Amino acid sequence: MGVLFYFGIFWPNTPSITQYPVRGIDVSHHQGDINWFKVSQQNYKFAYIKATEGDDFVDKSFTVNWQQAKDNGLIVGAYHFYSLRFTAISQAKNFIQTVPKELSLPPVVDLEFGGNSQVRPTIDEFQNELNIFLSTIAKHYNQKPLIYTTYEFYKHYLGSKYNDYQLWIRDIFFYPKSLNWTFWQYKNRGRVSGIKGYVDLNVFNGSLDSFSRLLVKP
C-alpha cells in the first residue's frame, strides 16, 4: 500500500465529479514546461500559478504559465508563498510588481510551515503582519485574497480570526470536513496530460455559476 501511495497509484481522496464539477491545478516552475493546450483538453477549469515568494523571489515560469494558461481558456489566479522571515509590506510589493491587475481569480497567500523560514514570530506579530499583507493586496487588486493553508498552520496562527476570508485547505488524505472551505487541494501527486511530473489537484466547493462570481474586474 505504501509503494502504491508514494507513486500516486492508490489515493484515498477521490472527490466526486458530480459534487465538485469545477476542478483545477496549481503549478510553479517545478512542473517545468507545461503544454497548456493538452491541459485545457481535460476537465480542468482553472489554474493557480505561483508568482512570488518572500520579498524578492519571482517564479521564473510565472509569466509564461499565466499567459499560456489564459490563451488556452483556463481561468487563472496567482499565489504568493508567504515567508515568516520578511515584512508583509515587502512581500506585498513583490507580488504587486509581478502579477498583472486584470480579470482573474482572487489572489492567494500561501501559509504553511513546510519549506518556510525557521523564524517563528509570535501569534500577534504574525497576525499584525498578515493583516498588512492582506489589506495591501485587497486594495491594489480590488479583490479580497484567499488564504491557502494546512491544518497545522491554521491551528497555530489563524484560528477563527480569519473566518471572513475564503479558505483553500490542503488535505491529501481525507475530505476536509472540519473547516468551511472554498478550494480543496486533495492530491499533491496528480498526473495531468501536458505536465511531465506530478502536479497538485484541486476542486472548488460549488457550482460553475458560483465559481464565476469569484472573478472580479479590478
Catalytic residues: 26, 112
Q: Which three cell numbers stand for residue 4?
A: 502504491
Q: At what angle do helices 88-98 and 123-141 cross, to 10 degrees?
A: 30
Task: Output the CA angle 94-98-102, nearest 5 degrees.
Answer: 125
CB 184 within 8 A of CB 168: yes
Tell me the CA distances in angstroms from 52 to 57, 65, 83, 147, one per residue in order: 6, 13, 10, 15
Beta partners for 204?
A: 183
Q: Which three cell numbers stand for residue 140?
A: 491594489
